[in-house]
């Protein structure tokens, strides 16, 4: 959530930057309501002061055995007016908070302005796979080898749910274990969180209220299925005040993720690219305001380390303003090349949310003893999602005789050198 003080201090500047994300954003209503709220606060405080003076005067009159009935009647009228203003103040404040909750984060000045296509490729590693034979789409190859079974998955759960079988299941689990253990060795505290969370948790992480239609909701228990472990990890220190020497706090979690992913996406509908359920290893950091962009580089480097260990070509892209998630101030994606489709797909997204989530969760740190607490900055990074990694391995590691070479770091866990 944005700091209302920032909007008051620089309404035109903030609105201009927010419009690089959503051109239709208009802060007029929220600013007008905020002015009304401040005015109501002044009125309420003035009436309370007047009522206190009147109560003291009633006490004095009674002590002197003088008639206080007219003053008591006047105080009663003040009480009614105060109750009415209090109700209006609560309603106005709630409306301001509701509108604030819908606003996205302010993009960092380094973020390129424009639609999704305006992203900037910062660097790449390796070269795209150029096989001298036709590369088979991962879905066709997986079904032929019996390691992917979307038909039976559809019978169990419906369309766009994957099922891994045999060595496919072992490859999926090997990826999870490899990534989880690697990040743990690199100083991230391992976490296996609940896969369901309450509405407050999803409000803190910023899935609610704006994106309620995109997530699975268990109405009977009023719990939501995890779309990404960021939704859970953002709440680890909700309501806490951390000390400076505790920061940065780095966590890595494994969770299955569930997303409606509504709509049609052409080629993306086929196979593992865009599914309702997938596995992901997620990195999450709590750090100081001064160090958060260095921490973003740290998350990106750790995600890159996974792709390098797997021997995959990838590129690093800085997302444009209109492609940012609501909570993000800056996002850097890692994209792998799939030769079966001749295009790149994002496999890791690393974001600095600055204090956007921390304000919602009231997560703060104290710079030093006796100083006023400040909001932490929160960051998240896929470390990474497995489904597109499996697709990338299947398409990039094909051999001319129809086999698929398993990355060396996974061969012992999978129990084979080739699929």
pLDDT given for residue 129 in this prediction: 80
Q: Is residue 87 part of a domain?
A: yes
Number of CB atoms found within 10 A of residue 11's CB: 15
The 10s digit of each residue's pLDDT in 131-170 is 889 999 999 999 999 999 999 999 999 999 999 999 999 9
State the total domains in the chain: 2
Residues 56 and 132 in one domain: no
pLDDT given for residue 215 in this prediction: 95
Q: Is residue 419 part of a domain?
A: no
Domain boundary, last residue among 102, 136, 169:
102
The 10s digit of each residue's pLDDT in 225-263 is 999 999 999 999 999 999 999 999 999 999 999 998 655
Domain boundary, last residue among 42, 68, 102:
102
Q: Is residue 109 part of a domain?
A: no
In this structure, is the dihedral angle defined by the CA atoms of residues 158, 159, 165 and 167, taken in order, positive or negative?
A: negative
Give the integer Cα–Cα distance in Å for 391 and 346: 12
For 54, the domain range is 4-102
pLDDT given for residue 43 in this prediction: 94
pLDDT given for residue 283 in this prediction: 98
What b/e readout covers 223-242, taking b as 16+ CB neighbours within 10 angstroms? bbbbbbbbbbbbbbbeeeeb
Q: Residue 370 has what DSSP assignment?
A: T
pLDDT given for residue 264 in this prediction: 52
List of the chain residues with pLDDT < 70: 261-269
Residues 285 and 188 in one domain: yes
Phi, psi of 162 (to 5 degrees): -85, 160
In contact, 397 and 405? CB cutoff 8 Å: yes
Residues across the chain? 419
pLDDT given for residue 266 in this prediction: 62
Residues 141 and 274 in one domain: yes
Q: Is residue 111 part of a domain?
A: no
In contact, 407 and 171? CB cutoff 8 Å: no
In contact, 163 and 150? CB cutoff 8 Å: yes
Residues 121 and 98 in one domain: no
Residues 92 and 240 in one domain: no
pLDDT given for residue 57 in this prediction: 85
Q: What does each C-alpha distance from 102 to 1, 83, 329, 331 come to in angstroms?
A: 8, 29, 15, 19
Residues 52 and 155 in one domain: no
Residues 96 and 133 in one domain: no
The 10s digit of each residue's pLDDT in 325-338 is 999 999 999 999 99
Residues 364 and 224 in one domain: yes
Domain boundary, last residue among 102, 127, 144:
102
In contact, 333 and 125? CB cutoff 8 Å: no
**DSSP letters spanning 70-129:** HHHHHHHHHHHHHHHHHHHHHHHHHHHHHHHHHSPPPPPTTSPPSSGGG-EEEEEES---
- Can you give the pTM of this predicted structure? 0.93
Q: Is residue 124 part of a domain?
A: yes
Residues 301 and 362 in one domain: yes
Q: Is residue 108 part of a domain?
A: no
**CATH number reported for the structural domain that contains residue 58 in this entry:** 1.10.287.40
Residues 328 and 239 in one domain: yes
Residues 97 and 167 in one domain: no
Residues recognised as catalytic: 259, 274, 346, 349, 388
In contact, 206 and 357? CB cutoff 8 Å: yes
Residues 122 and 96 in one domain: no
pLDDT given for residue 187 in this prediction: 97
pLDDT given for residue 97 in this prediction: 95
């Amino acid at each position: 959530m944005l700091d209302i003080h920032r909007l008051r201090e620089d309404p035109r500047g903030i609105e201009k930057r927010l419009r690089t994300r959503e051109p239709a954003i208009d802060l007029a209503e929220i600013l007008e309501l905020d002015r009304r709220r401040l005015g109501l606060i002044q009125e309420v405080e003035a009436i309370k002061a007047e009522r206190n003076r009147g109560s003291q005067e009633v006490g004095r009159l009674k002590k002197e055995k003088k008639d206080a009935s007219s003053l008591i009647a006047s105080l009663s009228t003040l009480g009614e007016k105060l109750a009415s203003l209090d109700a209006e103040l609560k309603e106005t404040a709630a409306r301001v908070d509701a509108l604030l909750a819908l606003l996205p984060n302010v993009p960092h000045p380094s973020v390129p302005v424009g639609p999704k296509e305006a992203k900037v490729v910062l660097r790449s590693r390796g070269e795209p796979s150029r096989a001298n034979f036709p590369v088979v789409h991962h879905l066709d190859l997986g079904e032929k080898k019996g390691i992917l079974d979307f038909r039976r998955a559809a019978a169990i759960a419906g369309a766009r749910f994957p099922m891994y079988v045999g060595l496919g299941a072992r490859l999926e689990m090997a990826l999870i274990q490899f990534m989880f253990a690697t990040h743990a060795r690199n100083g991230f505290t391992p976490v296996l969180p609940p896969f369901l969370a309450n509405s407050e948790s999803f409000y803190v992480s910023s899935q609610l209220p704006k994106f309620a239609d995109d997530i699975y909701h268990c109405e009977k228990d009023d719990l939501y299925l995890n779309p990404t472990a960021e939704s859970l990890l953002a709440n680890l220190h909700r309501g806490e005040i951390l000390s400076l020497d505790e920061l940065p706090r780095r966590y890595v979690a494994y969770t299955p993720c569930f997303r409606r992913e509504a709509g049609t996406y052409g080629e993306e509908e086929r196979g593992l690219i865009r599914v309702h359920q997938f596995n992901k290893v997620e990195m999450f950091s709590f750090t100081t305001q001064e160090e958060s962009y260095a921490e973003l580089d740290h998350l990106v480097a750790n995600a890159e380390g996974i792709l390098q260990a797997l021997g995959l070509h990838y590129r690093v892209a800085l997302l444009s303003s209109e492609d940012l998630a609501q909570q993000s101030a800056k996002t850097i994606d890692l994209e792998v090349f799939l030769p079966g489709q001749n295009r790149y797909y994002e496999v890791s997204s690393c974001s600095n949310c600055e204090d956007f989530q921390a304000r919602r969760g009231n997560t703060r740190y104290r710079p030093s003893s006796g100083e006023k607490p400040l909001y932490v900055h929160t960051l998240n990074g896929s470390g990474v999602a497995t489904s597109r990694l499996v697709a990338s391995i299947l398409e990039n590691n094909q051999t001319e005789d129809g086999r698929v070479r398993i990355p060396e770091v996974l061969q012992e866990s999978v129990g084979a050198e080739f699929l």
